[in-house]
Structure 1
Amino acid sequence: MFQTAFTLTLTQFARTLSLPERLQRSPLRNLTLEALRQRNTALDALFYDVKVITPEEAFYLSGSLAAEGSIMIVPPSGGGAIILCETLEEFALRGGGDAQALAVAGIGGSALGAAAFARNVADAIGTPVAVVVSGYGLADIVTEAVGGHFFFGHLKGLRPVFQMLDDFAGRPKFGASDKNDSETASRTSLDTRTVRALLADPRFSFRLLAGHSKGNLVISAALHELCKQDEIRAETLAKRLKIVTIGARIAMPPDFSDIVDVIGEWDWFGEMNSRPFISADQRIPHAWHHTNTDLAGHLPVTAVLKEILAKTTISEETEAAPALHVVAEPQASDAPTKAAAALASSKRPMRGPATIDKVKEAFSEKTSRDLPPVQTDWSGEMQPPKPH
């Protein structure tokens, strides 16, 4: 727990040092949001395994905690420094094509929480992971005030609408902000547009999509947009992508069927925001919504992903895949290599898509065991130095 507290304190201290620089642009907006951004960073420190982020990386990310739409390249622990990218072009130039997985975190939406979640994923597959920052702006204040963050799965349409407030307030644009027409931008948030643009770009070949909490909603919205705009690309992705949702079960487009839904046994928050007709593929015993391994009741992201990918490899060698189960401890030292190989060859669907027939089946044929329980903001932000 000491390392978690140290990482959070260092991040917030460095963030405070950069405040005068960030106030040079949109001072009223930044002053209004700063306390809430600091609060959300503290939430992410509780819900995510931030101790896997080094002090140097925490300092590096401090000025970009709320940079919605920005992209990070997060290598495995000890595999190099985090790289922060403002646009898709920069992401491609700085090695984004090597990322085999794309992650999206939820909860507070800070860059610190996103980086910690992505590092857990990277440690599971042994290769760099791309992650999109959700950020926290004026739209999030309004959405939160009406319960949209608590019931994010059921009030998903609020946040994109209120994002117009941020545009009027002079919010800087990152990620895919310049890649969409006004009609698309009006109905999707910046983090969703960035995820969609990453998936649509043929320069990138992701094999795994991993989301936690509200991040699953972002992934779902991005895939639905992609299916509307580029059916051929969506069909190509559906043949090779494995999707792992953690902490909330959200319906994905019908073409994407290789999905594993993971949720904690005690995760009432995730259940409230999940679709009841989608049964969980894996329930983690004695786990709640958070992934911080310093706290009791955590969901061990790295261990669970290793287990899922290991079972995927086994299922290709047998006619019937065995049921998934949780591993309490990390796999052997060669597990990341095996996990990466599983990503490259995974094709077997883990569950079917959510359709009307599936909804009927869920309520008529499923057993009780299967049913769920009763940017930067950089508006004037100081841009951190890019690692060489």
Structure 2
Amino acid sequence: MFQTAFTLTLTQFARTLSLPERLQRSPMRNLALEALRQRNTTLDALFYDVKVITPEEAFYISDSLAAEGTIMIVPPSGSGAIILCETLEEFARRGGREVQALAVAGIGGSALGAAAFARNVADAIAAPVAVVVSGYGLADVITETLGGYFFFGHLKGLRPVLEILDDFAGRPKFGATDARSDETAPRTSLDTRTVRALLADPRFSFCLLVGHSKGNLVLSAALHDLGRQDEARAAKLAEDTKIVTIGTRIAMPPIFSDVVDVIGEWDWFGEMNSRPFISTDRRVPHAGHHTNTDFHSHLPVTSVLKEILAVAPIAGKALAASALHVVAKTDASIAETTVPSPSVRARRRPATIEKVKKSFSDKSLPHIPSKEPGPSAELPPPKPH
């Protein structure tokens, strides 16, 4: 509990220090939204396991808390520092080609919550994870006022249209800003466009997609857009990609057959925003919507994901260490889980022992250049938002 409070306080303090610099760009917009962004950061601190973020990393990402479309590379705990990337090109240059897991968080949409969720995933697979920041802008304020945050699954088309207001108000351009020229730009939010651009880019090869809460909606929208724009790329991605949705059950394109829907037994918020026609594949006992292990009835992302991957490994060539770090007592955990009747989705193809061994060879471990924070090394200066 203390570490969560400390990380949140440090992040908000560092954010306050950078306010004068951010006010030099779109001062009225930043002044109007800053209090709401601080509130959303607090929400993320309650719902996500922010204590896994080091003080140096919290200070580093504080200036980009609401930078919608920003991409972060988050290594496992103790394996290096978080890397912030403003564009796809920067993501590719700074090690993105070797990252094969993509996470999308929900709730407040802050960089702190996104980094904490990605680190939980990274600890589960023992490999770096890319994550896209959802941010918080004028469109989110209007959507929230109309109830869109509470019923985000049913009012999903409202926020993208209202994001045009953010552009007029001088929203900084991060992520897939060049995607504005395509025909779906007016109907797609910036975080969704960035996720879609990452999945569509042949330089990147993701074999694990993990979303939580509203992040599952972003994943679904990005995959549906990709299927409409590039069927061949979507089909290739669907062959070896596992999708794990946590906290809400959202419909993915039918060609993605390897989907595992996870929800807590006491998660009423997730149930209200889930599609009733989609069955739950993994119901976690005594768990709610939050993933912060400091609080009771949390959904333990790292251990649950380890169990899922132990039962059904990923066919991707990366994520090698995940097979060596799975939970030893998987059978006991599965016994406590309620598994419903088979879903209407097509069943995934079984993996052979030879294929699993080849997939998780030590030669395939990804390498991401990063600076280890310490007394003799400093993180790169934060980018203004």
The TM tier, using the shorter chain, reads: 0.7 to 0.9
TM-score, normalising length from structure 1? 0.83
Q: CA deviation at 1:198?
A: 0.3
Q: Tell whether the 8 Å contact from 1:264 to 1:285 is kept in structure 2 after alignment.
A: yes
What does residue range 107-126 of structure 1 map to in structure 2 within 5 Å?
107-126=107-126
What does residue range 296-307 of structure 1 map to in structure 2 within 5 Å?
296-307=296-307
2:133 and 2:144 map into 1 onto residues whose CA distance is 18
Q: Tell whether the 8 Å contact from 2:71 to 2:133 is kept in structure 1 after alignment.
A: yes
What does residue range 251-266 of structure 1 map to in structure 2 within 5 Å?
251-266=251-266
1:35 and 1:127 map into 2 onto residues whose CA distance is 35
Tell me, what secondary structure is at the counterpart of 1:203?
Answer: coil
1:384 and 1:225 map into 2 onto residues whose CA distance is 35
- 1:240–1:43: structure 2 CA closer, same or farther, 3 Å change rule? same
What does residue range 31-46 of structure 1 map to in structure 2 within 5 Å?
31-46=31-46
Unaligned runs of 5+ in 2: 316-320, 327-341, 347-379
Q: CA deviation at 1:100?
A: 1.5
1:132 and 1:313 map into 2 onto residues whose CA distance is 24
- 1:37–1:291: structure 2 CA closer, same or farther, 3 Å change rule? same
2:120 and 2:259 map into 1 onto residues whose CA distance is 19
- The aligned amino acid for 2:211 is G
Q: Deviations over 1:16-59 (max 9, x none)?
A: 00000000011000000000000000000000000000000000
What does residue range 271-286 of structure 1 map to in structure 2 within 5 Å?
271-286=271-286
Partner of 2:173: 173
1:13 and 1:62 map into 2 onto residues whose CA distance is 9
What does residue range 1-388 of structure 1 map to in structure 2 within 5 Å?
1-181=1-181, 183-313=183-313, 337=324, 351-353=343-345, 384-385=381-382
1:162 and 1:222 map into 2 onto residues whose CA distance is 18
Q: CA deviation at 1:180?
A: 3.7
Tell me, what secondary structure is at the counterpart of 2:235?
Answer: helix
Tell me, what secondary structure is at the counterpart of 1:286?
Answer: coil
1:134 and 1:41 map into 2 onto residues whose CA distance is 12
Aligned-pair Cα RMSD in Å: 1.7
Q: Tell whether the 8 Å contact from 1:49 to 1:117 is kept in structure 2 after alignment.
A: yes
1:250 and 1:65 map into 2 onto residues whose CA distance is 26
Q: Tell whether the 8 Å contact from 1:99 to 1:129 is kept in structure 2 after alignment.
A: yes
Q: Tell whether the 8 Å contact from 2:61 to 2:382 is kept in structure 1 after alignment.
A: no
Q: CA deviation at 1:179?
A: 2.8
Poorly superposed stretches of 4+, deviation over 2 Å: 334-339, 350-354, 383-386
Q: CA deviation at 1:98?
A: 1.4
Partner of 2:353: none
Paired residue total? 330
- 1:225–1:249: structure 2 CA closer, same or farther, 3 Å change rule? same
Q: Deviations over 1:277-327 (max 9, x none)?
A: 001001111000000000000000000000000001499xxxxxxxxxxxx
Partner of 2:356: none
Q: Deviations over 1:75-95 (max 9, x none)?
A: 000010000000000000000
- 1:314–1:242: structure 2 CA closer, same or farther, 3 Å change rule? closer
Q: Tell whether the 8 Å contact from 2:102 to 2:208 is kept in structure 1 after alignment.
A: yes
Tell me, what secondary structure is at the counterpart of 2:312?
Answer: helix
1:215 and 1:314 map into 2 onto residues whose CA distance is 21
2:284 and 2:344 map into 1 onto residues whose CA distance is 21
2:259 and 2:135 map into 1 onto residues whose CA distance is 26
Q: Tell whether the 8 Å contact from 2:278 to 2:343 is kept in structure 1 after alignment.
A: no
Q: Deviations over 1:137-178 (max 9, x none)?
A: 000000000000000001000000100110110111111011
Q: Deviations over 1:328-368 (max 9, x none)?
A: xxxxxx756356xxxxxxxxxx95549xxxxxxxxxxxxxx
Tell me, what secondary structure is at the counterpart of 1:84?
Answer: strand
- 1:313–1:20: structure 2 CA closer, same or farther, 3 Å change rule? closer
Q: Tell whether the 8 Å contact from 2:106 to 2:212 is kept in structure 1 after alignment.
A: yes
Q: CA deviation at 1:185?
A: 1.2
